[in-house]
Structure 1
Amino acid sequence: MELPKSARVVIIGGGVVGCSVAYHLAKLGWKDVVLLERKQLTSGTTWHAAGLIGQLRASSNMTKLARYSAELYRGLEEETGVATGLRQVGSVSVALTEERREELYRQAAMARAFGVPVEELSPKEVKERYEHISLEGVTGGVWLPTDGQADPANIALALAKGARQNGALIKERVKVNAISRSGRRVTGVDWASDDGTAQGHIACDMIVNCAGMWGHEVGRMAGVNVPLHACEHFYIVTEAISGLTQMPVLRVPDECAYYKEDAGKFLLGAFEPNSKPWGMNGIPDSFEFDQLPEDFDHFEPILEAACSRMPMLAEAGIHTFFNGPESFTPDDAYHLGLAPEMDNVWVACGFNSIGIQSAGGAGHALSQWMDSGEKPFDLGDVDISRMQPFQGNKHYLFERSKETLGLLYADHFPYLQKKTARGVRRTPFHHHLLEQGAVMGEIAGWERANWFANEDQEREYRYSWKRQNWFENAAAEHTAIRTNVGMYDMSSFGKLRVEGPDAEAFLNYVGGGDYSVPVGKIVYTQFLNNRGGIEADVTVTRLSETVYLVVTPAATRQADQTWMMRHKGEFNVVITDVTAGEGVLAVMGPKAREVLQAVSPADFSNAVNPFGTAQEIELGFGLARVHRVTYVGELGWEIYVSSDMAGHAFEVLHEAGQAHGMKLCGMHMMDSCRIEKGFRHFGHDITCEDHVLEAGLGFAVKTAKPDFIGRDAVLRKKDEGLNARMVQFRLTDPEPLLYHNEPLLRDGEIVGYLSSGNYGHHLGGAMGMGYVPCKGETPEQVLASEYEIDVAGTRVKADASLKPMYDPKGERAKV
């Protein structure tokens, strides 16, 4: 067997995703593209996929990628001569509860905002679209006419042929059994033929891990963390059914089922609530087009409900009972991008049963990223850097994977918390908060108090699309922060220590702010990319002449540290994650100063500790450092205390707060307060594709500095003018709730969607943020329009503002 001695890129894995990456790189003109498949192309998961092609995903960019996939597959047959079997049959999703109907109608509204054709259906209209369904219990549905179905294996083979036609080398029955590394780079792969007759080494500039359910192990070989786990996925195919003609895809998520008509037969598949992880001891080396043992008892409840929902199923014989493995990630989003641990290891795997509809777009986006060195648009939903190191733990993955498969068809309620593999990361105040009634949520593995239950109240979520059982609790916490004083735990926020003789120069290069400031000064800032987009939203505190503390959102700590590491260059600095070293309590509200003065002899006056400065203090019997900043828009301090003294600090502050009516608060309060204040939320309101000036954050960018990443793009935008502006909205009707992605209408026309939403308890209505296109317009022209928000199909009038609706001059934090 002859293989090249070197390549520009080696792609590991010949499923539909690997073939898509090879195809798109070759289309971009890349030479020396080599794809190695351990057995035959498609022989892992692709060959047995159901082949559903959906147009609508949970965010605008994920929808963009899904739509690209469908468009690509339509043209592949003409390009390659390989039939993809793509049929645009449409899809019907059906609700059996009022809550599910609201979810589907909200999804329909979102589809309108994203430009996807959609129609809400009454039960009668569901029957008109899908004649064979029983309407027992049906409350409504949605129709997506551009959805479809296709032949998964043939899509992969068409992509492979297209890749070969453009110069890529694809080799089957070649297994990568080792990956050589030097520092933060891979240097090549060792391979062996399936029959053991040949072996060799390919030196390469980079690799792409497209190994599907083997992705975790391939990642380990390359020195990177790829958290995913295989689960059993069941479906049946019936015998031919007389009179069954081409039908739309049908989804009945309340019964965990989907239906696909194919050649006069039904395929019935399941996403059951409690799934079965597989391959805990590794996947057999011989695995190729394999099926897993049948488990009819596990599938029977789904089939029983399906026979009632689709009466013709009860009369049909079962031709095939299939069980095959697919890989699932801890958060049900796939892994894409440059692995944070290495500088030339790319990842595209863990597709959570949507690999066929995602592969075209994922390969397209990844190839553009690899070619240009920058993300083509925001990929935060799937960027591999969102994963935390501990999430590669196999026991964690085993437990979490029991839940994630079923979550695909579970109600996607706002604020839904995962139930499995919880309690991994706890702040120093964890048990104190639980003693006081905290109800925990989880982000990046951190257990965080989201809200506090009253003494006689159950300590758990009751989910709904309406006001949930904690709504009044969060309102009371919100009121405490606005009118009195509250305390909440911010320990989970990332803390990155940047130190060394070049620390000031390095930060002035990597960040948009000015870090040539006195010791103790706090700078709110962004890290920008070369397009002026926002890669990170952080606060930077100068601790000494050579040391800064960069504070990041909990979920982006790894990504933000990686961004700095990749731009360190020749700067003499060390970047260290010290998140777990300090607990952080925020004391916020008009009486915050009184509480701190009760526990410390330090001076908290504006003269000594003005807004935007930090100081070391005595607190109780211990020591702490206080940062006078706020994400809730009130007077307050973030109190940093070493983990060993954290328990003492909590007890001292909590006891002192009782005299002032201080209330313990959670993360839901923080988000509702910040949206009233118009503060941006990274990952929603601001991303790598949102220009810092259009986001309204130009005040944080200091272009007088001679050289920093994104400076030219900021200056260009100042000359060219803004194409969009971030606008804050408040519904005039106090009843509806906003979350995010609701369509935004200007003078009756959809112009965008909300990037984030919450309830403004102080202002008395649901609040949202969103970008309004405004090329050539003045701020006055933007605000002169009438605005509405589409809430599950109902248009609700909204007030609009470019300044924060709460405390527009920012005076309350500086008193």
Structure 2
Amino acid sequence: MTLPSHARTIVIGGGIIGCSVAYHLARQGRKDIVVLERSKLTSGTTWHAAGLVRRLRSSATLTKLINYSIDLYGELEHETGQATGWIQTGSLTLATNPDRLTNIKRQVSLGRAFGLEAEVVDAKRAKELWPLIETDDVIGAVWSPADGRVNPSDVALALSKGARARGVQIFEDTAVTGLQKTAGRVSGVEVGDHVIAADEVVIACGLWSREVAAMAGAHMPLYACEHFYILTKPLAEVQALGKGAHLPTLNDQDAFLYARDDVEGLLVGCFEPHARGLSLDRLPKDFSFDLLDEDWDHFMPMMENALRRIPALDRAEVRMLLNGPESFTLDSQFILGESPEVPGLFLMGGMNSTGIALAGGAGRAMAEWIIAGAPTMELNEADIRRFSPEMNVLAALEARIPEVLGRHYDNPFPGRAMDSARGQRRSPIHVGLVAAGAQFEARGGWERAVHFGGEAAHQPLNFGAPPWRDQVAAEVEACRSGAALLDQSAFGKIMVQGPDACAFLNRLCAAQMDLPEGRIAYSQILNARGGIESDLTVQRHGPEAYLLITGAGEVVRDLKHMREIRGDFRAEFTDVTSGYAILGLAGARARSVLQATTNTPVPDLKRFQFAPVEIDLARGWAGRLSFTGEEGYELYIPADMAMAAYEALLDAGASHAGLYASSSLRIESGFRAFGHELTPGTTPHEVGLDAFCAMGTGFVGEDALQDHIPARRIVSMLFDDPEAIPIHDEPVYFAGQVVGQVTSAAWSYRLGRSVALAMISGPPGFFSEKSSTADGTWGVEVEIACTRYTARAALKPAKEAFQ
């Protein structure tokens, strides 16, 4: 078969991911598809993957993708004649301490929001389900009967067979040597001296994806790690199960282990705490169906854990210690989507050991994105646009990725943070915050102060009342009655200038942008379906000059949207995030403290106005708004003057507050946040922000909002029991039925109990006054770790509805 000179779509990579993308593109009617594989199909990571498929994940998106995968893997054999090895064995997850038990119970509750049932069982039942294990330290377990496993290579071959049957051309032993661009858009693939012109290119090269993406100048921050598991020869205890019988998949996360039966023996793998990264220059160029060297010294601590849990291993003869590389990402979520830097180049990889389970659903999601030109479902957590180019730094990847693998089984406690690759992006006042005892978390590469009081106020982490509650109480009080200083410098800042700046922004943003100079508009950027792509404020600085203030993780998304719609608009835009600090100053004393720093009068600003201000030796401008919902300002200071302004404000009586305090106040005030209440799948009407949409201005998504009547809404909730500690995603029940999920939660220092925001679905009229109680609230239940807690829900903010 001869390489073509043109293809509509080229998929680079013939593992399970590349085969799935090609299959789903063809299944949806796309013609002229080519797959290029440097070696043979299934080489790389696919062939040595363990093949575990667990339905329940940490989010609705991941769970939906995996459930689709399972359905597909069961159908492929009938369609193609190629077996996939799908076996529904169920899975058993053990807990040996109360925190682990709480975590797996939380997963059970989350599953009920998606219609997945799992059972919490005791140690005796766990032993019945997995007779080979020692259970003397097991305090509980979760049995998930719908889980199973597949043969990864067989799944990939079935997908490739289905793709070929629909006209996809697959070329093995065909290494890509370069990518071509025309006018900034990907336009072709080089295979030695041969060039295949293409309308779009998909990179699904596993370990090599970052390097292939770099051929086109695209960023794909992933990195490889060594991943170990042992295979034993047949064991009498496994053979005793009987022919065709299988054990469930075993997850012993406290011991960093997973296990299953394999050819009458056992497969036991690990996510060891002290994982090892793998630079690709250690691999030969023809690395294919190869493995890394066995390293028993490195694996031995995990082997000791395995012998403790499965005593029969002591009598087993080890067939091999498999050491195969896998790729991981900075935040342990996979990468999917169109490159923000190179239009037409689609990226998928960094599967974090979930590639086999996700391949079917993620392949379909990628195919739909390619065909539709935009995501067709909620994909925020996997979207490549969550990573800025600054995060694709090799030193950061080499430091962070082994920790990501090593903490794969960590309990997801509130306040948990990675230790490696820290300090990459720091606020201009970072040194001052350190001296004040700030406790930081790394978010999007930025060091963000979450509270003060240091490590002593942060540990130990748990799922109950956090150790920082008293510290944050003082910070919240300062935000109300004092003058609390909040570092918001990580917010994105984009300058828009030009004769058509106003018209351009009226196309981009849902709110009216033709506002007077010195005014601030609150707005969203929508997609064509009316979903919210970004949440921002826009300042008008002149007839042809605006400044957009957006979320720290939304800059890449916003710039991509701006490039896509600019067209003939005479407008330029520039990311100026690093040029300015933003200091929030919240509380009843904010104005007096600000005035004490300057000899010039503080402007008498109305809400959503801004004006120049001098702060001791610094100058900038002040905006009359606060994300806390309390009185206050946002102060915008050039980065080189930020420390001078910061020191002057402290000298004038300001105190510190962190993100935990502002989050508590935000949720009390009912303010929505992107990635929580606001997502590409939610509309302004659903989240109560339709009043900010200037209908008739022609903004993207306006047509989708015409006559839009939402069937779901964001509500505020106040829990009745002070012991209820929601985090996020807990299912909400009304009249015994799941009607929604928590989107954000925090402790309310005003009300002395937990408050939350939740997205609730209801039948017509559900949100009317007639359906509520006399005080305008509804009685609901929220399930947290398999326990139901009562709460009241209201459309108004908690601080108004529940006083």
TM band (smaller chain): over 0.9
Distance 1:282 1:562, change over 3 A: farther
Deviation, structure 1 residue 483: 2.8
Q: Distance in 2 between matches of 1:482 and 1:744?
A: 31
Number of corresponding residues: 792
Q: Distance in 2 between matches of 1:588 and 1:713?
A: 37
- 2:699 corresponds to 1:708: yes
Deviation, structure 1 residue 243: 3.5
What's 1:680 paired with?
Answer: 672
Q: CA RMSD in A?
A: 1.5
TM-superposition CA deviations, 1:296-326 (whole Å, max 9, x none): 0111111111111111111111112110100
Residue identity opposite 2:226 in structure 1: E
Deviation, structure 1 residue 782: 5.1
Residue identity opposite 1:656 in structure 2: A
- 2:203 corresponds to 1:209: yes
What's 1:262 paired with?
Answer: 262
Deviation, structure 1 residue 279: 2.4
Q: Distance in 2 between matches of 1:415 and 1:563?
A: 32
Residue identity opposite 1:654 in structure 2: L
Residue identity opposite 1:237 in structure 2: L
Deviation, structure 1 residue 602: 4.6
- 2:216 corresponds to 1:222: yes
What's 2:794 paired with?
Answer: 801
Deviation, structure 1 residue 125: 2.5
Q: Distance in 2 between matches of 1:267 and 1:59?
A: 28
What's 1:491 paired with?
Answer: 489
Q: Secondary structure at the match of 2:757?
A: strand
TM-score using structure 1 length? 0.95
Q: Which moved more, 1:378-387 or 1:279-288?
A: 279-288
Q: Distance in 2 between matches of 1:563 and 1:765?
A: 40
What's 2:747 paired with?
Answer: 759
The answer to whether the 8 Å contact 1:19/1:156 transfers is yes
Deviation, structure 1 residue 282: 5.9
What's 1:374 paired with?
Answer: 374
Q: Distance in 1 between matches of 2:409 and 2:274?
A: 12
What's 2:586 paired with?
Answer: 588
Q: Distance in 1 between matches of 2:440 and 2:93?
A: 32
Q: Distance in 2 between matches of 1:592 and 1:340?
A: 40
- 2:731 corresponds to 1:743: yes
What's 2:505 paired with?
Answer: 507
What's 1:76 paired with?
Answer: 76
Q: Distance in 1 between matches of 2:53 and 2:456?
A: 42
The answer to whether the 8 Å contact 1:722/1:776 transfers is no
The answer to whether the 8 Å contact 1:120/1:143 transfers is yes
Q: Secondary structure at the match of 1:632?
A: coil
Q: Distance in 1 between matches of 2:281 and 2:488?
A: 38
- 2:719 corresponds to 1:723: no
Distance 1:782 1:190, change over 3 A: farther
Q: Distance in 2 between matches of 1:176 and 1:459?
A: 52
Q: How does 1:422-571 map to 2 (within 5 A)?
A: 422-453=422-453, 458=456, 460-571=458-569
Q: How does 1:289-438 map to 2 (within 5 A)?
A: 289-438=289-438
Residue identity opposite 2:517 in structure 1: V
Q: Secondary structure at the match of 1:458?
A: helix
Residue identity opposite 1:257 in structure 2: L
What's 2:611 paired with?
Answer: 615
Q: Secondary structure at the match of 2:9?
A: strand
Q: Secondary structure at the match of 1:610?
A: coil
Q: Distance in 2 between matches of 1:367 and 1:768?
A: 36
TM-superposition CA deviations, 1:391-412 (whole Å, max 9, x none): 2211111111120112211222
* Structure 1 gaps, min length 5: 193-198, 811-815
The answer to whether the 8 Å contact 1:136/1:309 transfers is no
* Structure 2 gaps, min length 5: none
Distance 1:204 1:363, change over 3 A: same
Q: Secondary structure at the match of 1:555?
A: coil
Q: Distance in 1 between matches of 2:532 and 2:768?
A: 22
The answer to whether the 8 Å contact 1:565/1:575 transfers is no
Deviation, structure 1 residue 452: 0.3
The answer to whether the 8 Å contact 1:478/1:762 transfers is no
Deviation, structure 1 residue 808: 6.6
Q: Secondary structure at the match of 2:382?
A: coil
- 2:762 corresponds to 1:774: yes
What fraction of aligned residue pairs are identical, expressed as a percent?
39
Distance 1:187 1:467, change over 3 A: same
Q: Distance in 2 between matches of 1:614 and 1:119?
A: 56
What's 1:195 paired with?
Answer: none
Deviation, structure 1 residue 209: 0.5
Q: Distance in 1 between matches of 2:600 and 2:137?
A: 65
Q: Distance in 2 between matches of 1:549 and 1:802?
A: 32
TM-superposition CA deviations, 1:282-306 (whole Å, max 9, x none): 6421101011011101111111111
Q: Which moved more, 1:306-315 or 1:35-44?
A: 306-315
Q: Secondary structure at the match of 1:419?
A: coil
The answer to whether the 8 Å contact 1:738/1:759 transfers is no
Deviation, structure 1 residue 601: 4.2
TM-superposition CA deviations, 1:87-131 (whole Å, max 9, x none): 010001111111111111111110111211211122223223222
Q: Distance in 2 between matches of 1:179 and 1:564?
A: 25
Q: Distance in 2 between matches of 1:186 and 1:704?
A: 36
The answer to whether the 8 Å contact 1:120/1:141 transfers is yes
Q: Distance in 2 between matches of 1:306 and 1:421?
A: 31
Q: Distance in 2 between matches of 1:260 and 1:567?
A: 51
Q: Secondary structure at the match of 1:770?
A: strand
Q: Secondary structure at the match of 1:713?
A: helix
What's 2:660 paired with?
Answer: 668
TM-superposition CA deviations, 1:9-53 (whole Å, max 9, x none): 110001100000000000011111000000001110000000001
Distance 1:653 1:364, change over 3 A: same
Q: Distance in 1 between matches of 2:138 and 2:782?
A: 27
Deviation, structure 1 residue 584: 1.2
Deviation, structure 1 residue 775: 3.5
TM-superposition CA deviations, 1:677-723 (whole Å, max 9, x none): 11111111110011110111111111142x11111111130xxx221
Residue identity opposite 1:229 in structure 2: Y
Q: Distance in 2 between matches of 1:637 and 1:546?
A: 25
Q: How does 1:10-159 map to 2 (within 5 A)?
A: 10-159=10-159
TM-score using structure 2 length? 0.97
Residue identity opposite 2:8 in structure 1: R
Residue identity opposite 1:211 in structure 2: C
The answer to whether the 8 Å contact 1:451/1:665 transfers is yes
Deviation, structure 1 residue 762: 1.4
Q: Distance in 1 between matches of 2:418 and 2:38?
A: 35
Deviation, structure 1 residue 809: 13
Q: Secondary structure at the match of 1:30?
A: coil
TM-superposition CA deviations, 1:459-495 (whole Å, max 9, x none): 6542111122212111221122123221110000111
Q: Secondary structure at the match of 1:727?
A: strand
- 2:633 corresponds to 1:637: yes
Deviation, structure 1 residue 604: 4.3
Residue identity opposite 1:252 in structure 2: D
Deviation, structure 1 residue 280: 4.6
Distance 1:781 1:333, change over 3 A: farther
The answer to whether the 8 Å contact 1:783/1:800 transfers is no
TM-superposition CA deviations, 1:609-634 (whole Å, max 9, x none): 10001101111122121111111101
TM-superposition CA deviations, 1:423-466 (whole Å, max 9, x none): 11111110101111111111111111111007xx7365421111
Q: Distance in 2 between matches of 1:465 and 1:645?
A: 40
